[in-house]
């Protein structure tokens, strides 16, 4: 494992899947604690929950594992009954990245991992570089992709967060800077509607406890088993340079906060609905039902089949960048 440090954070990165495996931050009393779920390093090749992984080549779902690009149909093997999730059965989450040297700079450290990825039904060979930079209370994640043939690309990080140290995350207070979200069908594929959040448990424009939203009687929560939806960012939150806030989370018990900034059009909020106690963490604990949540900045699911969604097409000579900033704080 590669260790990075700033004067506030300790970060662990695993080359298998270019994963965020550790993120240690202080609580309001100055006591450091782990805020992401991580495995023993030798357990990642068997992971199927995408813990901390760089996911792609297409994060989230493609309906039927098929799409048409430039008049030609492409098929990605499905790893769910009727969808290709996070790039299919063997995506970037199980690619072995080559890590560069850890570089120090004022206030922190960074490392870049690289991998060339081809196949899985996607056209072209993708050259991917993932850079982790720890600086003060911030972890910057930069993902850069280039291709040698026209393809579709949607890359993100799939960290599972828990700001309180363990147990259900229902008491976390979440705010998402989005006035619309994407309803999904029974396969968790967007219907195409960009639905207003007003009057629904998806209205997280003001801070709300996760468990309060999950307790609401709404058909979309039933379809997904909780929150597992893309929110359409509206730019209403604070900014960090060229990045805009996607979400802010507060855990009242320990007082930790997390603000997620990005340059992507959406963020997937997932309430850990499929955690079932079968994932054993590095400290021997098992990750139970809804004991972590994910905030995954990304393009919209099934975009290759939805011309009305922002394009995910990448062509030779172009670059596709995903920038994510995780800012830890105390309240």
How close are the terminal C-alpha atoms of the chain, in Å? 31
pLDDT digits (tens, 9 = 90+) for 253-296: 999 999 999 999 999 999 999 999 999 999 999 999 999 999 99
Domain count, the chain: 1
Binding residue positions: 60-61, 158-160, 228
Q: What is the DSSP letter of 5?
A: E
User: pLDDT at residue 165 above 90?
Assistant: no
Burial 232-256 (b: 16+ CB within 10 A, else e): bbeeebeebeebbbbbbbbbeebbb
Active site residue 296: yes
Q: Region 210-222: what's the mean pLDDT?
A: 96
Residue span of the structural domain in which 82 resides: 2-330
Higher pLDDT residue, 222 or 107? Answer: 222
CB 117 within 8 A of CB 314: no
pLDDT digits (tens, 9 = 90+) for 90-104: 899 999 999 999 999
pLDDT digits (tens, 9 = 90+) for 28-77: 999 999 999 999 999 999 999 999 999 999 999 999 999 999 999 999 99
Q: Residue 157 maps to which CATH number? A: 2.70.98.10
pLDDT digits (tens, 9 = 90+) for 226-253: 999 999 999 999 999 999 999 999 999 9
pLDDT digits (tens, 9 = 90+) for 105-152: 888 999 999 999 987 899 999 999 999 999 999 999 999 999 999 999
Active site residue 80: no
Q: Which of 158, 162, 229, 248 is catalytic?
A: 158
| Composition of the chain by helix, strand, coil, percent to 5 | 5, 45, 45
**pLDDT for the residue 177:** 98
Binding residue positions for beta-D-galactose: 60-61, 158-160, 228
Evaluate if pTM is beyond 0.95: yes
Report residue 328 as tokens. 């830890």
């Amino acid at each position: 494992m590669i260790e990075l440090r700033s004067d506030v954070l300790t970060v662990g990165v695993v080359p298998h899947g270019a994963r965020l495996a550790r993120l240690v931050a202080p609580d309001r009393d100055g006591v450091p604690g782990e805020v992401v779920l991580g495995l023993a390093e030798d357990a990642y090749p068997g992971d199927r929950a995408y813990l901390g992984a760089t996911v792609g080549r297409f994060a989230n779902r493609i309906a039927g594992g098929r799409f048409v690009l430039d008049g030609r149909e492409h098929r990605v093997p499905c790893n769910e009954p009727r969808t290709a999730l996070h790039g299919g059965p063997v995506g970037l989450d199980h690619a072995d990245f080559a890590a560069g040297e850890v570089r120090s700079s004022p206030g922190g450290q960074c490392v870049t991992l690289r991998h060339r990825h081809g196949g899985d039904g996607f056209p072209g060979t993708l050259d991917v570089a993932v850079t982790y930079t720890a600086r003060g209370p911030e972890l910057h994640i930069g993902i850069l992709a280039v291709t040698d043939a026209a393809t579709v690309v949607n890359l993100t990080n799939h960290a599972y967060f828990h700001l309180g140290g363990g147990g259900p995350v229902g008491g976390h207070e979440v705010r998402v800077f989005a006035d619309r979200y994407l309803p999904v069908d029974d396969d968790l594929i967007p219907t195409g509607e960009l639905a207003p959040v007003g009057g629904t448990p998806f209205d997280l424009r003001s801070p709300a406890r996760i468990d309060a939203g999950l307790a609401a009687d709404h058909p979309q929560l039933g379809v997904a088993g909780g929150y597992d939806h893309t929110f359409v960012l509206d730019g209403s939150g604070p900014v960090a340079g060229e990045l805009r806030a996607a979400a802010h989370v507060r855990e009242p018990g320990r007082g930790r906060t997390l603000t997620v900034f990005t340059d992507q059009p959406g963020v997937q909020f997932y309430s850990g609905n499929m955690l079932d106690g079968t994932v054993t963490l590095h400290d021997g604990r098992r990750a139970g039902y809804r004991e972590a949540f994910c905030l995954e900045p990304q393009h919209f699911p099934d975009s290759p089949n939805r011309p009305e969604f922002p394009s995910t097409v990448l062509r030779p000579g172009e670059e596709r960048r995903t920038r994510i900033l995780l800012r830890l704080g105390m309240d």
